[in-house]
């Protein structure tokens, strides 16, 4: 294995990993240590040219913590995978009003994965299996850098605030009929602190998303206006990294501090990506995110 090189990509975050692939990280402690350090520092990691398989993606992801098992809202319910595809089993493409097409539209809202679950996610690992030739990029923004750009009085106000996250809320922005009664009962709203501190480096981050709908102690309209303002602030022009997918690409990002969104692609273009999600633990700063008893 050649020396591991970390090449910076985005405006203060995101980096490409060179000299090590997913298999190296899965098998070698030194490769894992280097990539884990890069993950804590850069928040989004890009691997090119990976010979990806379900087994390799799981082996790599397990290095970072326990894997989330997909619940009712996923096509791969009961497995460690979330499959995002517009390709039917017979090879045809789903129509624009299909639930998978609506899911793709919902994923075009700025969000962080699984903030509406307990426990939430530490990280996501997304592999490109079929890539659209036009569009279909993934865009990222750092809530850590967004927090640091906030005026000190705003940070002080938010540091100990708690917000509510709900999968049904974000899906309702796309279509009221998009989420089923079973999905609502499986994924009830959860509450987390608005500021997530990374124990590896002590850096703070906003922790909000399109799933966030309320802040404790604040009128509904005021809270939603503030949440929209904070997302706009974090994702402002010049502060995002746009990834153009190539076959064999694998991306990993830190859900504690990264917002992301998919970008549209033509309805006649196939796209198939597979995500594994690593669950946050107490070692990742989760204990401080919970409301006081």
Cβ contacts of 277 within 8 Å, gap of 6 or more: 67, 68, 80, 82, 113, 114, 121, 123, 124, 125, 255
Peptide bond into 119 cis (omega under 30): yes
Find out whether 14 and 8 touch, Cβ atoms under 8 Å.
Answer: yes
Residues 6+ apart with CB under 8 A from 26: 32, 56, 59, 60, 62, 63
Q: Could you tell me which of 20, 23, 25 has the C-alpha nearest to residue 1? A: 20
Residue 17 pLDDT: 98
- Superfamily (CATH) of domain 5-289: Clavaminate synthase-like (3.60.130.10)
By the 8 A CB rule, do 130 and 87 touch? yes
Q: What is the pLDDT of residue 74?
A: 61
For residue 181, the model assigns a pLDDT of 85
Task: Show me where the domains of the chain are located.
Answer: 5-289
**Residue 170: strand, helix, or coil:** helix
pLDDT in tens, 99-118: 899 999 999 999 999 999 99
What is the C-alpha to C-alpha distance for residues 226 and 62, in angstroms, rounded to an integer? Answer: 36
Phi (first) and psi of residue 276, to 5 degrees: -110, 145
For residue 272, the Cα-to-chain-centroid distance in whole angstroms is 17
pLDDT at 165: 98
| Cβ proximity of 186 and 74 under 8 Å | no
Nearest to 114 by CA among 279, 283, 287, 289: 279
Task: Give tens-digit pLDDT for 233-289.
Answer: 999 999 999 999 999 999 999 999 999 999 999 999 999 999 999 999 999 999 999
- DSSP category for residue 68: P
DSSP string, 182-199: HHHHHS--EEEESEEE-T
The rounded distance, in Å, linking the Cα atoms of 277 and 93 is 26
CA distances from 64 to 12, 196, 276, 280 (A): 23, 18, 11, 9
* Residues in the chain where the model's pLDDT stays below 50: none
Spatial CA neighbour of 96 closest among 210, 264, 245, 211:
264
């Amino acid at each position: 294995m050649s020396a591991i090189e970390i090449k910076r990509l985005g405006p203060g975050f995101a980096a490409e990993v060179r000299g090590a692939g997913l298999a190296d990280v899965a098998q070698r402690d030194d490769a894992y240590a280097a990539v884990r350090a890069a993950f804590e520092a850069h928040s989004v990691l890009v691997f090119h040219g990976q010979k990806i398989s379900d087994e390799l993606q799981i082996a790599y992801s397990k290095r970072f913590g326990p894997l989330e098992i997909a619940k009712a809202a996923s096509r791969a319910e009961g497995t460690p995978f979330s499959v995002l595809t517009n390709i039917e089993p017979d090879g045809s493409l789903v129509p624009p009003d299909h639930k998978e097409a609506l899911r793709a539209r919902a994923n075009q809202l700025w969000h962080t994965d699984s903030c509406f679950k307990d426990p939430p996610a530490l990280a996501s690992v997304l592999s490109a299996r079929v890539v659209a030739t036009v569009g279909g990029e993934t865009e990222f923004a750092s809530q850590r850098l967004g927090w640091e750009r906030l005026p000190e009085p705003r940070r002080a106000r938010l540091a100990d605030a708690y917000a509510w996250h709900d999968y049904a809320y974000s899906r309702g922005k796309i279509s009221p009929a998009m989420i089923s009664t079973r999905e609502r009962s499986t994924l009830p709203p959860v509450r987390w602190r608005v500021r997530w501190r990374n124990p590896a480096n002590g850096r703070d981050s906003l922790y909000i998303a399109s799933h966030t709908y309320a802040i404790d102690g604040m009128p509904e309209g005021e809270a939603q206006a503030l949440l929209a303002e904070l997302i706009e602030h974090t994702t402002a022009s010049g502060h995002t990294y746009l990834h153009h997918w190539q076959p064999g690409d694998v991306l990993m990002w830190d859900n504690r501090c990264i917002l992301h969104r998919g970008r549209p692609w033509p309805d006649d273009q196939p796209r198939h990506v597979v995500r594994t999600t690593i669950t946050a633990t107490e070692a990742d700063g989760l204990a401080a995110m919970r409301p006081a008893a």
